[in-house]
Copies of this chain bind each other. A is one copy, B any other.
Amino acid sequence: MVRKEIKEQRVKGYFIQAAKEILKGEGLVCVSTRNVADRAGYSYATLYNYFKDIKDLVFECAKEFIDEVRDFVKNETVGLTAGIERIQVKLKAYLNYFIQYPGIFELFFLERVSSMGNNQKTVELIYTFLDKLCADDWNYCIEHGIVRADQLEFVSDHIRFISAGLLLFYINRRHPQEYGEFISLAQARIKEILDRYTISREDNPR
């Protein structure tokens, strides 16, 4: 019966919505069965009719947040054409999203892998997400001789590590203390990496 599945998806959605709201507002630590169920308008035990356990629910949220980050970044880059400059804008938006919702940074990068059970696919999705986000731009850069194809992996990995490191210290350790300082620091650092691994237009033979 299809009607049954529609209903099931609907109720699942209520729980996911509630958990997402808590994650965004109060962070992972506040996502408890009681808390989520209260907000969804159900008893906490009902949650177990729709999710294996609380981690299962949290990872359903993660999946949806991936789309949300993508949309957020897309929204910040409307009208821009592919290339190094757009990578910088995308990265800024990417960092800003996690600063706005530290709970989601926590969920994406800090949550213990042990607690993810069989959600390895979601973990992989998160890991490769930044690369996919900038894939068009990297392709453009390679096609136009702005980045050497054999250096692509190194530079994109480098940016991934730096971004995670920056966010980790800013969100989790308050270094630097001010947002303005963080963002200018981050941008300078990203610019430096991109400069290092790109061939400027003047030098570009084509």
Q: Are A160 and B164 in contact (CB under 8 A)?
A: no
Tally of contact residues, A, Cβ under 8 A: 29
Using Cβ atoms and an 8 Å threshold, which residues of chain B touch A123? Answer: 173
Which residues of B sit under 8 angstroms from A154, Cβ to Cβ?
189, 192
Per assembly, the copies of the chain total: 2
**Which of B29, B110, B165 meets A160, CB within 8 Å?**
B165
Instruction: Give CA–CA (A164, B161) in the complex, Å.
Output: 8
B112 touches A174 (CB 8 A): no
Q: Is A43 on the interface with B (CB-CB < 8 A)?
A: no
B189-A109 in contact (CB<8A): no
Once A112-B29, A189-B158, A196-B196 are accepted as A-B contacts, the answer to whether A164 and B174 lie under 8 Å apart by CB is: no
On whether the beta carbons of A172 and B127 are closer than 8 Å, the reply is no
Beta-carbon nearest neighbor of A106 in chain B = B112
Contact of A113 among B29, B157, B161, B174 (CB under 8 A): B174
Instruction: For the complex formed, measure the closest distance between the CB of A25 and the CB atoms of chain B, giving whole angstroms.
Output: 14
**Residues on B with beta carbons closer than 8 Å to the beta carbon of A192:** 154
With both chains docked as a complex, state the minimum distance between the C-beta of A46 and any C-beta of chain B, in angstroms: 27
For A69, what are the chain B residues with a Cβ–Cβ distance below 8 Å?
none
A158 surroundings in chain B (CB, below 8 A): 162, 189
Knowing A29-B112, A112-B29, the reply to whether A161 touches B172 (Cβ < 8 A) is: no
Name which residue of chain B comes closest to A111, CB basis: B172
Interchain CB contact under 8 A, A166 and B161: yes
A-B contact pairs, 24 of them (CB 8 A): A106-B112, A109-B172, A110-B172, A112-B172, A113-B172, A113-B173, A123-B173, A126-B173, A127-B169, A127-B173, A127-B175, A154-B189, A154-B192, A157-B185, A160-B165, A160-B169, A161-B165, A161-B189, A162-B165, A163-B165, A164-B164, A164-B169, A168-B168, A196-B196
Q: Which 4 residue pairs across A and B have the least CB separation, nearest first?
A: A161-B165, A165-B165, A164-B165, A161-B162
